[in-house]
Amino acid sequence: MKSSVFQYPYSKVFRRTQDVLHKMGLRITGIDARKGTINAERGFSIRKPKYKIDLVVEEMENHNTRVTVNGVLLSQIFFQRDFNAEICESEILEVLSTAI
């Protein structure tokens, strides 16, 4: 479970997070702006495994917003290269930080 803090209002970070997930090839399966949750998944490909992620976007003090990757569930097939859930979490937060 990794998180990043952004110095932007909640609405902007929530909207940008959705955009970034879509650009990364993830399909958003569930979204709740009141609770600040986003669920997304990517299907199987030859080189990358299927995975599902749960993100929590929460407003903090002074217009800061925290994005937390709650969980990454990987489904691999034997011929796909190995993926680590922590690396996957880091990649998502890195792409998000450059986009915001």
User: Scanning the structure block, which residue is given the tokens 């990649």?
Assistant: 91
CATH number of the domain where residue 86 is located: 3.30.530.50
Q: What is the pLDDT of residues 33-42, one digit of tens each?
A: 999 999 998 8
Range of the domain at 16: 2-99
Confidence of residue 31 (pLDDT cuts 50, 70, 90): very high
Number of structural domains, the chain? 1
Q: What span, in angstroms and rounded, lies between the C-alpha atoms of 97 and 16?
A: 10
Q: What is the pLDDT of residues 35-92, one digit of tens each?
A: 999 999 887 666 666 788 899 999 998 889 999 988 776 665 655 555 666 777 788 8
